[in-house]
Structure 1
Amino acid sequence: MSTARANPLNSMAAHVALITYTLIALFPVFVILINSFKTRKAIFRDPLALPDGDTFTMIGYQTVMKQGDFFLYFQNSMIVTVATLFFVLLFGAMAAFALAEYRFKGNLLMGLYLALGIMIPIRIGTVAILEMMVSTGLVNSLWALILVYTAQGLPLAVFILSEFMRQVSEDLKNAGRIDGLSEYTIFFRLVLPLVRPAMATVAVFNMIPIWNDLWFPLILAPAEETKTLTLGSQVFIGQFVTDWNAVLSALSLAILPVMILYVIFSRQLIRGITSGAVK
């Protein structure tokens, strides 16, 4: 009885904590958004003030639309982010299921090998990655970014998902096998729906670094037709002069889609935190 009474309180506390953290995290976004509608002098004079009749301007957004192909950059970033998340979740879940479900020689070593990818940053191998992409003819293509980001996100995905999949009921999976279900059917129809909160966690952890990354787009896909939004926004940042109105406007436009994706995935994440991950 005491546990049943405590659950609503725990759920309320979790919601309050999430709302508090969300407001704190959104404050920089709010500052960027209001300053994107202000003149340059107003940005530096009072960055926390709201735009008024004297300081309001749309010059930053007009500059963004005129210089460069903003919609192409937006499209490239969206394609890379969505495709990478799809492959990370698919291959990461399949590898995690194999490690959690089947016992084979080298199972532990394989798990440790994948875990090393979390501790060793992929940027250390930038030169080797660039040489590999040149030899395969993938430089200045979106596939180069998708493959690199997929490799970057898989270790964390396997590490998180394998722990959740070990908690899935063995009776449920054995019942599926008795009913004649194949291993693929058990994986897609029985296991994946139970680990959706974990998959949402993996998606959230990988989504922001991919969308905001500047390093690999600059190294692997700097051509105009393959520029991502982050790389395309650098045209407004110069060595001596920076168009802060355009930079803040570009950042404001870039925030919107990633916020939408975050809301889509965070619903499953919040549901898993407040109601329990795997039952």
Structure 2
Amino acid sequence: MKPHLAYRIGQHVIGYVFALLSLYPVFLMVTASFKTTIEIFTKPLSLPTKFSLAAYDKLLGQMPFGTYFVNSVIVSVVSVFLILLTATLASYYISRTRYKWNEALLFIFLLGMMIPIKLGIVPLFLLMKGLHLTNTAWSLILIYTAIGIPMGVMILSGFFRTLPTELEEAGRIDGCTDMQILGKIVVPLMRPALGTVMIINFVTAWNDFFFPLIFIQSELKKTIPVGLMSLFGEYASDWSTLFSGLTLASLPMILLFMFASRQFMDGMTAGAVK
């Protein structure tokens, strides 16, 4: 066997091993959702002796899981939309206009990534209370948007600078305005970077537990991470129903990454090779 071929085979074997190790906890989560709580503790690593949908029936029938799911979708989708819209406009201005303070403006955006926003939870809560936004989805949407914009500006501004300006100049010769150039020429070329920003911020908003716990008090306005906390009792926890909820909650992220994984990988490696 040629050394080069053996090296490639070894790379693939190592890659598949790490992939299986990464997927094994997901496999345990899915199989545990078909077990009873007793079986989860007595046989945690084995397949269920009898596949049961009782946990899913309880989750969907006795809990407002559908409401939690819709709330999470609304908060995550609206937050990602606002992040993409705001970060795209800001990045286009920073990358394409000649202004001596552009680098300072970019640095100000990047400061948002350096300061832990959770340290300001008290003034944030007082701000939302003063704006009468506590116990509403908008409190979470505005916070996630503020968290996601700095990283979005960093990724998109770097990607903008890799695009040739000749395409925009050709659009101006044809009579396009700046917004038409951005919408019809530049944005279609930025799908890898936009996909990266979308996936990262969607996962952040979807999985977050801290801010919904602080800002949402109404049971029917909770998101999935906080809503599933009701399954943890003082003396016992319903683990099978919890695992079924986690399984259903992970489906949107899995589907999103399946459809946007190519753009995600291209966006993460954009600019690495010229």
- The TM-score, its normalising length taken from structure 2, stands at 0.88
Structure 1 residue 264: Cα displacement:
2.5
Tell me whether 263-272 or 180-189 shows the greater mean CA deviation: 263-272
Once superposed, which parts of structure 1, at least 4 consecutive aligned residues long, lie more than 4 Å away?
A: 14-24, 271-279
1:168 equivalent in structure 2: 163
Q: Give the Cα separation in 1 of the matches to 2:134 and 2:32.
A: 36
1:93 equivalent in structure 2: 88
| Cα contact 1:164–1:278 (8 A) shared by 2 | no
1:51 equivalent in structure 2: 48
User: Does structure 1 residue 62 correspond to structure 2 residue 57?
Assistant: yes
Structure 1 residue 41: Cα displacement:
2.6
Query: Which of 165, 174, 177 matches 1:179?
Result: 174
2:8 equivalent in structure 1: none
1:214 equivalent in structure 2: 209
Structure 1 residue 275: Cα displacement:
9.6
| Cα contact 2:80–2:145 (8 A) shared by 1 | yes
Structure 1 residue 273: Cα displacement:
6.7
1:153 equivalent in structure 2: 148
User: Does structure 1 residue 40 correspond to structure 2 residue 23?
Assistant: no
1:138 equivalent in structure 2: 133
CA 1:123/1:276 → structure 2, altered by over 3 Å: closer, same or farther? closer
Q: Which amino acid aligns with 1:199?
A: L
SS at match of 1:254: helix
Structure 1 residue 168: Cα displacement:
0.7
| Cα contact 2:231–2:242 (8 A) shared by 1 | yes
Q: Give the Cα separation in 2 of the matches to 1:136 and 1:248.
A: 37
Q: Give the Cα separation in 2 of the matches to 1:277 and 1:182.
A: 31
CA 1:275/1:152 → structure 2, altered by over 3 Å: closer, same or farther? closer
1:264 equivalent in structure 2: 259
CA 1:277/1:199 → structure 2, altered by over 3 Å: closer, same or farther? farther
| Cα contact 2:162–2:271 (8 A) shared by 1 | no
Structure 1 residue 269: Cα displacement:
2.0
| Cα contact 1:38–1:245 (8 A) shared by 2 | yes
Q: Which amino acid aligns with 1:162?
A: S
Q: Which amino acid aligns with 2:70?
A: Q
Deviations 1:67-116 (A, max 9, x none): 33111110000111111111111111111111111121321111111111
| Cα contact 1:198–1:269 (8 A) shared by 2 | yes
Q: CA RMSD in A?
A: 2.6
Of all paired residues, the percent bearing the same amino acid is 41
| Cα contact 1:36–1:252 (8 A) shared by 2 | yes
Tell me whether 255-264 or 205-214 shows the greater mean CA deviation: 255-264
Tell me whether 72-81 or 173-182 shows the greater mean CA deviation: 173-182
What residue ranges of structure 2 are gaps of 5+ in the alignment? 1-10
- The TM-score, its normalising length taken from structure 1, stands at 0.86
